[in-house]
A = this chain, B = another copy of it.
């Protein structure tokens, strides 16, 4: 290439299309490969991130642009899932979901904490690793369930509701743990945090649908700007995501609530348009999880052993904790809820990063938590497919579900 051309490409215009091309195409190729192997395409997309990431090929490293696209991808994924669900139906399963979320927080925390102590880690580090095992990354499960048309089953609704509650609990665990490791626990502040997060979530879930049912017809009628309904949906999505962050929960919880609020007042047009954005950006969310894997954590046998133990604990603890919480639904659905809550994805990494920033989690233990987050996310989709096998085999899902619930 002549020097002049190198000069032009070095000024940066190649950066965006290059990153888009490498991440998107490798994610889609791996998804295609996995579909052909009869495995979930989503696992292929996450592994694409591992493959092109620093540990293997080194084509891409996590950067600000890619992580922004990943965040947006997760928001659109959850927004679209919210659009498919009625909030009244989530409210109905609220009791069971709370039970699932609580036992699904306690069991993983205790197992992670105990394993680290047995491994000989300082107690603060053990507490932080326990905290990083608490929160489910609902995006992965939601994507699998949505792709297979399974969002309308009772177990799916419990998984979604429990994941939202789980996020609030995760916030509180992180707040308590951060305060404890700094030696001071401010109880009034903690109570206020809890109150704000719960109030935001409950208010939007409870009155969002009704409010949107009254507002949306005016949007379509009165606004002159093109695709006004879509523009309004996007505005609500970003506004609730931002409010979610301000009240302490994850942006994707706000995105999910935005979808939920608009589920009954949104037509095909807005669904198709937002689907386009999701189709483009979700691969960045999935591959972005894989990009963070750092296999150098496995260079020391002791660390490798810890990583495997923590991974096993992450899987077993959510399966048991959440499965027990959903026991009242019968074995089949309890099993589905149990596997559906396994993926930790980006949530575990965020907690570990905060611990790393405090100097409480050491670099190799951080690598272990990242490995656990990614591996639990990769393991879950095939397990979900197995747990829902009966429904998937028996033809059109809604009918099958009806038959199943009645029989």
Contacts and interface: CB of A to CB of B under 8 A. Distances in A.
A147 B279 contact: no
Contacts of A239: 21, 25
B224 A9 contact: no
A238 B24 contact: yes
A269 B254 CA distance: 28
Nearest to A272: B272
B71 A68 contact: no
Nearest to A241: B17
- Chain A interface helix/strand/loop/mixed: helix
A246 B15 CA distance: 11
For this chain, the copies found in one complex come to 2
B274 A354 contact: no
Contacts of A276: 230, 272-277
A193 B248 contact: no
A187 to B, nearest CB: 12
Contact of A246 (B14, B68, B242, B246): B14
Given A5-B196, A36-B224, A64-B64, A16 B246 contact: no
B17 A248 contact: no
A28 B235 contact: yes
B20 A238 contact: yes
A192 B2 contact: yes
A245 B13 contact: yes
Given A31-B225, A65-B64, A272-B272, A72 B246 contact: no
Nearest to A45: B225
A3 interface: yes
Interface in A170-190: 175, 178-179, 186, 189-190
A251 B239 CA distance: 31
Contacts of A18: 242
A312 interface: no
21 contacts: A4-B186, A4-B193, A5-B246, A5-B248, A8-B245, A16-B71, A17-B75, A17-B241, A18-B242, A21-B241, A21-B242, A25-B235, A25-B239, A28-B231, A32-B228, A35-B224, A41-B226, A230-B279, A234-B279, A273-B275, A277-B277
Interface of A: 1-5, 8-9, 11, 13-14, 16-18, 20-21, 24-25, 28, 31-32, 35-36, 41, 64-65, 68, 71-72, 75, 147, 175, 178-179, 186, 189-190, 192-193, 196, 223-228, 230-231, 234-235, 238-239, 241-242, 245-248, 250-251, 254, 272-277, 279-280, 354
